[in-house]
Structure 1
Amino acid sequence: MASGSQSRRTSTGQHPSSVWWEEAILGDQTNCCSGHRRWSCKWCSLRDKVSGVDRVRGHLTREAGHEILSCDVISAEKRQQLREMVKTIDDQGIRDSFDPERKEAMDMAIGRFFWNEHIPFVKARSHHFKEMVQQIARHGIPYDLPTETALREQLLQVEKTNLEVQLAKVKARWKNCGVTLVADAWNDTRNRHIMGLVAYSRGQSTFLEAIDISSSGKTADNVFATWERGIEIVGEENVVLIVTDGEASNKAAARLLEARKPKIMWAPCLAHCLNNILKDFAKLPWMVGLLDKGKTLVGFLRNHSYLVAILASFSSRLSRM
């Protein structure tokens, strides 16, 4: 019986998906990443596109999810023929995926990568991981893996360009929807005081910049200057609200904001406020003794493995209910 890899190939020895390259005009292949080619559409004005074979397929068949403009010149009859070819190729892939021995070998290869590289198992839920596996499956065999240099340089630059395109679409909505500017400070591993700026609008958060304020200190003027940097990036006409924690320097900077930019409001972070309220509760005389007893009980339980095992067994039962 033919193996799974042989069944995925045509009589010419090529993977079925490679037939899509025959529907395009191939150009100069220099500086193209592994699996990518420079191509132009045979029908419309799309020229010198560098991508994988799936973009050719999406361009000609108008399939969603390929992030490329559809060809509007190709005839309806030709497009229907290509869609039938899609179904044939996909059906072939589905039949081959039912080979249990081949699937077990692939699963074990993925498992060894996770185990030997100490990758957390939860990363198997990542949509990036799933997308990577699907794209490799669609490409077929042979597939030349990207080199370390390609991952560090060419591919990273391509992804940067893609993110800039996506970010431009997000920024275009800021004018109509408004933006909440979120500012937070923390100390990094080198003990530098960093102020991070994030723009939030309609459920989407966009990182703007991280500013080192170690040398200048977290004074009201310096904090306000950091906010102004974020306002400059987003556009003053788009900023509606600034959210920070309730530290004294932020409150002082908020007064400067009210005086200099009265159209922009400031609000303290609700989670930070609740955290401070609970800390104040813990200082009440009647609460101090209660907390000490609770900490003692928790310490006792954690120091006795038998009790921890009993607690774990009941927790597992509750999770199944």
Structure 2
Amino acid sequence: MAEISESESYDPSTDPKRKAKSNDPGWKYGFWPDLTNKDLVECSLCHKQMHSGIKRLKQHLAAGYGDVAKCPKTTSEIMWEMQQYMQGTSRMKRARVILDDDVQELETGERQPSSHDSVTYPSSGTASKRKQSTLRFAELQPRVGKQNQSVAALLRKTPEEVDERHSKGPTQRTIEACTKSKEERERALMHIANFFYENDIPFSAANSRSFKIMVESIGQMGPGLKPPSFHELRVPLLENAKKEIDKLKEKHKLAWKQYGCTLISDGWTDKRDRHLINFLVNSPEGTFFLESVDASSESHDATMLAALLEKKVEEIGKENVVQIVTDNEVNYKAAGRLLEGRIPTLFWTPCATHCLDLMLEDIGKLAEFKSNIASGRHITTFIYRHGRILNAMREQTGGKDLVRVGATRFVTTFLTLQNLYKHKNALRKLFVRFGLALN
């Protein structure tokens, strides 16, 4: 009976013979159920058995991996402990390759070829992809003064890479993000929101890539970052931004030479009544803003426009420019014909948006539409000039406006007609209501 009692009280999860002699925290929650098969590990919390050793058990407890089931009895403390240990071990393994390379460099005074100089990137396997991408990222970093950097700084992704990763879809949260409470995140977001509100920044700015990169960069710097001063924004940082744009231009120039490009011209008038002509270059690399020319003192005839466009073509390279896109006005059409005669390899193409705008203008001149447009203009003018009627109209339409401002006045006209037709029942109720009130 004593032997039976002793066998019943035996707990294999606490038997030191069934655990590896290691400081790995995973062995606090796992053991070998079969000493003849040490590839099989059992979780002492939920008693689930799994192959691939203690690493798979730690993933099981960390609950952050898609190919391993989460332990139903794990706690937030255990999850944090496993994630921290696995990420620290992974970083040390990756850093060993870089640190060995630094030792060779410091001893010889020059960089020696290493085993990862000609690395091949696998087409599958998430672990391998993470390892190879880390090696490639390390090779791209500056070698000067690197021995003074921490391992974490060497392996951390740049803000641009982080934004590119986020843009591809949902990603696993970092350990740092998991340690922050919901209240802390809301406080940080409120500070960002207040910056938008106090400085009258359009909400659409939050969709820009530069805003997301800025937030990630601030997060990587950590607490205590001193923001740029007015002078730094106005002088040194502005000069650095210009240098970055110059580097970007060189990248675009390579694409212009390889694929060819399109020169785009667009004229507009600013608030100071200056007539400006913008020049942009489009290629498979993207659209690059080239220059804005003040043509207020010039006569915008075909000869002047052709000479200006030809000058920009020569700056880009006649052999690189395939076509020119401009407005469909008479002077630009004539300038396009002049350029096609001077440069036989060049094509002039009218702007499709401007063509559609001119079509709407011509449609508005037809008798069938002209009278309706005039009636719609009278109705909207009457409503928007009387505050009480305007407020009543918005109540009837659910807060919607009748006038929708488009890119041009011709687009605005047809969008407004569309709204008048859409809210015709609400407008009828509006005028019946005020008609009864007047009576």
The DSSP-based 3-state class of the residue aligned with 1:267 is strand
Q: Give TM-score, length-normalised by structure 2.
A: 0.51
The DSSP-based 3-state class of the residue aligned with 1:304 is helix
**Hey, what does 2:394 align to over in structure 1?**
308
Shift of 1:140: 0.8
Q: What is the 5 A alignment of 1:134-153?
A: 134-153=216-235
**Which runs of 5 or more structure 1 residues have no equivalent in the other structure?**
1-23, 25-40, 47-59, 73-80, 316-321
The DSSP-based 3-state class of the residue aligned with 2:315 is helix
**Hey, what does 2:416 align to over in structure 1?**
none
Shift of 1:135: 1.1
**Which runs of 5 or more structure 2 residues have no equivalent in the other structure?**
1-97, 112-132, 144-150, 158-172, 402-439
- Cα gap change, 1:62 to 1:166, in 2 (>3 Å): farther
Shift of 1:158: 1.9
Letter in 2 for 1:119: I
- Distance in 1 (alpha carbons) for counterparts of 2:262 and 2:190: 46
Counterpart selection for 2:256 from 166, 169, 174: 174
Cα RMSD, aligned residues only: 3.7
- Cα gap change, 1:42 to 1:195, in 2 (>3 Å): farther
Asked whether the 8 Å contact 2:252–2:285 carries over to 1, the reply is no
**Hey, what does 1:131 align to over in structure 2?**
213
Shift of 1:63: 6.3
- Distance in 2 (alpha carbons) for counterparts of 1:42 and 1:221: 66
**Hey, what does 1:184 align to over in structure 2?**
266
- Distance in 2 (alpha carbons) for counterparts of 1:82 and 1:43: 21
Post-superposition Cα deviations, 1:170-218, rounded to whole Å, max 9, x if no partner, equal 2101122211111122222332222211111126111111122222311
Q: What is the 5 A alignment of 1:142-221?
A: 142-202=224-284, 204-221=286-303
**Hey, what does 2:344 align to over in structure 1?**
262
Asked whether the 8 Å contact 1:182–1:200 carries over to 2, the reply is yes
Letter in 2 for 1:174: W
Q: What is the percent sequence identity of the aligned residues?
A: 32
Counterpart selection for 1:229 from 311, 314, 327: 311
Q: Give TM-score, length-normalised by structure 1.
A: 0.68
**Hey, what does 2:327 align to over in structure 1?**
245
Letter in 1 for 2:260: G
- Cα gap change, 1:202 to 1:301, in 2 (>3 Å): farther
- Cα gap change, 1:311 to 1:63, in 2 (>3 Å): farther
Q: Tell whether 2:185 aligns with 1:96.
A: no
Letter in 1 for 2:398: A
The DSSP-based 3-state class of the residue aligned with 1:262 is coil
Asked whether the 8 Å contact 1:177–1:202 carries over to 2, the reply is yes
- Distance in 2 (alpha carbons) for counterparts of 1:257 and 1:227: 8
Asked whether the 8 Å contact 2:134–2:155 carries over to 1, the reply is no
Post-superposition Cα deviations, 1:123-143, rounded to whole Å, max 9, x if no partner, equal 233322222121111111221
- Cα gap change, 1:293 to 1:91, in 2 (>3 Å): closer
- Distance in 2 (alpha carbons) for counterparts of 1:117 and 1:61: 39
Whichever of the two has the greater Rg, that structure is: 2
The DSSP-based 3-state class of the residue aligned with 1:307 is helix
Letter in 1 for 2:371: G
Asked whether the 8 Å contact 1:61–1:83 carries over to 2, the reply is no
Counterpart selection for 2:200 from 96, 110, 118: 118
- Distance in 2 (alpha carbons) for counterparts of 1:86 and 1:179: 37
- Distance in 2 (alpha carbons) for counterparts of 1:100 and 1:227: 56
- Cα gap change, 1:307 to 1:43, in 2 (>3 Å): farther
- Cα gap change, 1:238 to 1:313, in 2 (>3 Å): same
Letter in 1 for 2:320: N
- Distance in 2 (alpha carbons) for counterparts of 1:300 and 1:43: 82
Q: What is the 5 A alignment of 1:24-63?
A: 61-62=134-135
Q: Tell whether 2:140 aligns with 1:69.
A: yes
Letter in 1 for 2:140: L
The DSSP-based 3-state class of the residue aligned with 1:312 is coil
